[in-house]
Structure 1
Amino acid sequence: MTSFRVGLLGATGAVGQKFIKILENHPWFQITALGASKRSAGKPYAEAANWIESTPMPESVKQLKVLECKSELFKDVDFVFSGLDSSVATDIEGDFAKAGIPVISNAKNYRTDPTVPLLIPEVNPDHIDLIHEQRFTKDGSGWIVTNPNCVAVPLTTSLKPLHDAFGISSLVVTSMQAISGAGYPGVPSLDIMGNVIPYIGGEESKIRQEPLKLLGTLSKGAVKYADFPIEATATRVPVINGHLLSITVGLKMKADLDEIRDAMNNWKSPIHELDLPSAPEFPLKVHTDPRYPQPRLHADSEGGMQTAVGRIRQAHVMDVSYIAMAHNTVRGAAGGAILNAELLVRKGFLK
């Protein structure tokens, strides 16, 4: 496998650090350029970053000089990962794409663009063909791919077998989101300790919208969104990692619990045979113990890349209720973007 030179935008932030940690020993991707704000530019990464990961900063990045996030400074990379804040991502990511540098983004800014794939490889790998519809460069060398919101990932992954087997007519979801999802320094300790905050600004609209694009069908260069209503409530809870979701689903075709469990247990990932380094062997794990899944016990399963499901039960309103959970900064952020890049390599979009 060819080794790819990778740039990282937003390298000093919490998501940027997670990218660095996961990519430390990646067999295909090597970080060769780091980008951050003007405040950090010109400094060695070890000096610019307040390292918050639980493992030591990799030696390979300590002395890399941090660059401003300008495309002309990243000419020697094959593509970039973006962990940029949404307040600056639109212009910076667009500038890189227009310069012919592919961007694989964790930011929300281009997720709803009709020509930009919103991608979970196990759910909608065919949507990468939207890249052909982008016009950042005349020769198609520059483009953007995004990964979804950190709640939309476990939500949509758990819905995919039900959507395929029975169809979905409606959905209610309440998220209990870990504090790491708020970045660093995140939520003030006096607000979150021993408490639950029943509102996260801007989150519920993403939970309502993104699964419909992810579960949509690609036809003639456009995605026809799935068509069912989603009612979402987003809360912040005093958990470090792992977003837990309480989900109730209305089905178009009635199914009993055995059929629903079978649909989830027997669901096959469409990328299973591609041998992608970050792909979990079992992207969807169905637990039978009614106490599971739990963030403390299961967020790190399969390197943090697995979606866990449990408490599947008949609903008194609509049809079926269950719990889903995934690691928000791995599967829901940096790890998901890295898996997207691996799929893009296998499909020939990164060369």
Structure 2
Amino acid sequence: MKKLYIAVIVSMGLFCFMTPAHAEPKEETQQTITELQERLSQLNDEISTTVVEQEQQEKKSQALTQELTIQEKKVTDMTDKLTQLEKEIQERVRAIQLKDADRKVNFFQLEGWTKMLSSIKGVETVRQSDDAKAKEYTELTENLTKQQKELEKKQEEYKTVQEQLQTTMATQQSSKEQLEKELKDNEALLAQIQEEERKQEEATKAQQEALLEQVVLGQNFSTSEEVSDKAQAIILSAKQYLGVPYVWGGTTPSGFDCSGLMQWVFAQNGVSIPRVSQAQQAAVKEIPVSEVQPGDLVFWGRPAHHVALYIGDGYFIQAPQPGDVVKITHTSWYPFESAGRVLY
């Protein structure tokens, strides 16, 4: 995969940022760049989503393995207990058959009411003991049947999860192969864009720093966008992770994917949002792109294959793709397609 990561680094020109004061991507290549952006973003999202699914399915598989072990032991213990009870009942039946005649004769040979009453109580005790064993046998048999059905259900569930896991891993591998092919096929274009990206980053560095300083101070932006206290806190949280590498399925400061970063920074500020970009898009209140404000989420695709945090003046913080890091990008280079409000 080292080759894939190196190739992806070259592709970062697709996600460079700029302001209207700087040159737009060359007109003759803009459509090609946009289409390539879309394909790479979709493939990365597919891979990242399958990584999340794989983790969930593996956890479920591990939990089911433990449940199966416990359930199998229940069935084994219950089967052993039932076998022992059957043996005791069989021995009791043989004993009754052998001694029944003698008991009847002895009963009529007893002298006195006290001995007779004692004998009757003894017979009743035996009867009650036999009834208890019969009841225990019936209940144990029914419970064993129930536990065996539960075991079969868990075995079927485990099989289904394993099949889903195999499908997920196959999809993930296919997406990785397609991504590598796209990068290889567009190597020349990506190489041309790489230098332009470097220049754009240098050109907007001062403007980004000024923008973040405005956020720190809670000031209005040049476009009269206002920053609420909660949005300001979330943006400042996201700022802490600039430079953190992109990782497929990443959800921690050791590495983020696009939606993992969004979930993390909102959670750091007591706001819960779903895990993946499609679910985040579905969960927020959609707003017109023209009304986007700092603290809103911005999306690409429907269902979304990429998500970022809008911070004002056309800028957003995103985790782009493998080989890149959490960074600030301007919409003039990578325009988002829809927006949603989390904070009201």
Q: Comparing both structures, which one devotes a greater share of its residues to strand?
A: 1
TM-score tier, shorter chain, comes to: under 0.3
**Which structure would you say has the larger Rg?**
2
The TM-score, its normalising length taken from structure 1, stands at 0.20
The TM-score, its normalising length taken from structure 2, stands at 0.20
